[in-house]
């Protein structure tokens, strides 16, 4: 599924710069108004394949609950990093547990490209957990931000040189915020009667 064919409000959930944050955005939370995307075995397979860029994911029914648990921990740890809070030990333990499984094994084609592979949901969740460990412990761990748009709150990694990026997407949230600010500045002031 290409982001260009997705509804723009849905596609913006997958522009964070990291697989683990993209996966965190598949959930329905109090932070954003978009609905839950991983609600059954088929939806878990579809979204893991999309996020990881693999041809096919094979999930079992019990993988859905496991995915929700991992996703919840990633979301909590990412928000803690964004807000400068300490990381919760239970969430760290959850990430480490999922990362312990073997991740998908990449394959190369004779043309020197990465081959599309099929993998299990367990391996896919391991790859997501390993990406979270890499993000939270690496140099970009303190560059996780919450979008400053009042109606968004999606997470992203600020990889800009000065580290001052405010929006998950300048094309969407940044422009909408600037447009609202411009319109409110131009709005006529009504005298009180």
pLDDT value at 88 more than 60: yes
Give me the mean pLDDT over the 156-173 stretch: 76
pLDDT value at 181 more than 60: no
**Could you give phi then psi for residue 38, rounded to 5 degrees?**
-105, 95
pLDDT band of 168, cuts 50, 70, 90? confident
pLDDT, position 39: 94
Q: What is the pTM of this model?
A: 0.83
CA pair distance 30, 182, nearest whole angstrom: 28
Calculate the alpha carbon distances from 98 to 29, 58, 69, 149, 174 in Å. 22, 17, 10, 32, 35
Map out the domains of the chain as residue ranges. 3-186
Helices (H), the chain: 8-11, 19-24, 41-52, 62-83, 89-99, 121-137, 175-186
pLDDT value at 154 more than 80: yes
Q: For residue range 32-51, list pLDDT tens digits in order.
A: 667 889 999 999 999 999 99
pLDDT band of 173, cuts 50, 70, 90? confident
How far does CA 70 lie from the centroid of its chain?
12
CATH number assigned to the domain with residue range 3-186, chosen from the 4 options 1.10.10.1100, 3.40.50.300, 1.10.8.870, 1.10.3300.10: 1.10.3300.10
Of 26-30, 120-124, 128-132, 168-172, least confident by mean pLDDT is 168-172
Query: Are the C-beta atoms of residues 89 and 76 closer than 8 Å to each other?
Result: no
């Amino acid at each position: 599924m290409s982001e260009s064919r997705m509804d723009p409000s849905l596609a913006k959930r997958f522009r964070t710069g990291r697989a683990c944050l993209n996966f965190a955005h598949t959930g329905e939370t109090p932070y954003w108004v978009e609905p839950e995307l991983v609600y059954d075995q088929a939806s878990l397979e579809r979204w893991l394949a999309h996020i990881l860029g693999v041809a096919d994911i094979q999930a079992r029914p019990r993988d859905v609950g496991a995915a929700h648990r991992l996703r919840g921990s990633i979301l909590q740890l990412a928000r803690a990093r964004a807000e400068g809070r300490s990381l919760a030990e239970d969430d760290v333990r959850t990430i480490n547990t999922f990362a312990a499984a073997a991740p998908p094994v990449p394959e190369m084609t004779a043309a020197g490209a990465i081959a599309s592979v099929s993998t299990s949901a367990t391996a896919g969740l391991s790859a997501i957990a390993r990406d979270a460990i890499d993000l939270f412990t690496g140099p970009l761990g303190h560059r996780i931000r919450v979008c400053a748009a009042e109606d968004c709150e999606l997470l992203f990694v600020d990889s800009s040189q000065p580290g001052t990026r405010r929006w998950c997407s300048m094309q969407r949230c940044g422009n909408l915020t600037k447009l609202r600010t411009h319109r409110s500045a131009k709005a006529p002031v009504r005298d009180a009667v």
